[in-house]
């Protein structure tokens, strides 16, 4: 049994409302705004990569400036849930229209075992936002492993949106705040948006130990990852003891695994991932 995740009851104080004040983050117009409450988010559980600039500003590997900036990513955990908070310059209303050089939001991608395969995806847009999938195929971005524009040979280490997968859990919560705010960090006139989510740990049943999680947009112009060192997802049996009530609910969901669904049709109001995606 390997339970070595950071059990912190204060994580339960996180409310999934699209506001990151409960993570200890601020809007004072200085660099310290990006530093979370350390009892909630230890140093190994967040990444800050804030930059600014207009559309020509390079984010590496792609361009797009603030409108495509993946700025900061935070992870917290308590005995039953994993919590994610992402701050970005990418509006949830960004249309996904590659013919006009516009790319919508991607999904959260989880790699267990650090082997470069991303087993789980958390949907960020559309009617299934907040649903966790066991992913069988991802979409990828426009850039190759050398950072060159090469859509035919994209860097597989930066998956963008879930293409196919099976539904694991739809009981998580996710809010992608469409109301931008300013004055976070030193670039105090830039607009920021938040994706805040919670996932029950039991949804990762069968996968325990160290994991990485990352997010980017459908062009993968700027990706951001957190590679937690101290926090690992507990083995399922230990979680079962803590959340017996949830188990019945999830097993009901699993009975629906084989129901085919289509995600993100052209009617997707958020416009992300406009290519039809079949979920088996
Ligand atoms: Ca919140
Ligand atoms: Ca960035
Ligand atoms: Ca920024
Ligand atoms: Ca993996």
Domain map (residue ranges) of the chain:
9-279
Ligand closest to 192 (CA) is: 3
Per-residue pLDDT tens over the stretch 161-183:
999 999 999 999 999 999 999 99
Q: How far apart are CA 166 and CA 200, in angstroms?
A: 17
User: In 10 A of CB 258, how many CB atoms?
Assistant: 9
DSSP annotation of 150: -
DSSP annotation of 266: T
**Closest of 103, 33, 106, 41 to residue 76, by C-alpha:** 41
Mean pLDDT for all residues in the chain: 84
Ligand closest to 52 (CA) is: 3
Ligand closest to 89 (CA) is: 3
Per-residue pLDDT tens over the stretch 50-61:
999 999 999 999
Q: Write out the two tokens for 259.
A: 């129901």
Ligand 4 geometric centre to CA of 205 (Å): 14
Residue keyed to tokens 């950071």: 6
Ligand 1 geometric centre to CA of 21 (Å): 6
- CA-based torsion, 130, 103, 64, 223: positive or negative: positive
Q: Write out the two tokens for 194.
A: 């938040």
Task: Identify the residue with better confidence: 262 or 83.
Answer: 83
Query: Contact at 8 Å (CB) between 48 and 71?
Result: yes
């Amino acid at each position: 049994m390997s339970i070595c995740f950071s059990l912190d009851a204060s994580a339960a104080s996180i409310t999934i409302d699209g506001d990151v004040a409960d993570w200890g983050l601020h809007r004072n117009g200085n660099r310290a705004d990006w530093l979370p409450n350390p009892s909630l988010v230890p140093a190994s559980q967040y990444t800050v990569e804030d930059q600014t600039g207009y559309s020509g500003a390079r984010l590496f590997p792609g361009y797009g400036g603030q409108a495509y900036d993946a700025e900061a990513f935070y992870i917290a955990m308590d005995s039953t849930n994993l919590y994610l908070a992402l701050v970005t310059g990418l509006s949830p209303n960004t249309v996904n229209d590659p013919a006009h050089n516009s790319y919508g939001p991607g999904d959260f991608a989880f790699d267990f075992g650090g082997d470069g395969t991303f087993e789980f995806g958390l949907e960020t847009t559309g009617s299934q936002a907040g649903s966790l999938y066991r992913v069988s195929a991802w979409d990828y971005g426009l850039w190759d492993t050398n950072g060159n524009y090469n859509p035919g040979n994209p860097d597989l280490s930066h998956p963008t949106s879930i293409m196919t997968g099976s539904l694991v859990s739809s009981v998580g919560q996710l809010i992608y705040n469409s109301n931008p705010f300013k004055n976070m960090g030193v670039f105090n006139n830039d607009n920021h948006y938040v994706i805040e989510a919670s996932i029950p740990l039991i949804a990762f049943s069968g996968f325990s130990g160290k994991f990485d999680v990352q997010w980017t947009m459908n062009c993968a112009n700027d990706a951001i990852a957190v590679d937690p060192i101290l926090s690992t997802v507990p083995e399922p049996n230990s979680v079962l003891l803590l959340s017996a009530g949830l188990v019945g609910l999830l097993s009901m969901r699993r009975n629906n695994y084989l129901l085919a669904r289509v995600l993100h049709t052209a009617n997707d109001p958020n416009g992300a991932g406009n290519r039809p995606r079949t979920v088996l």
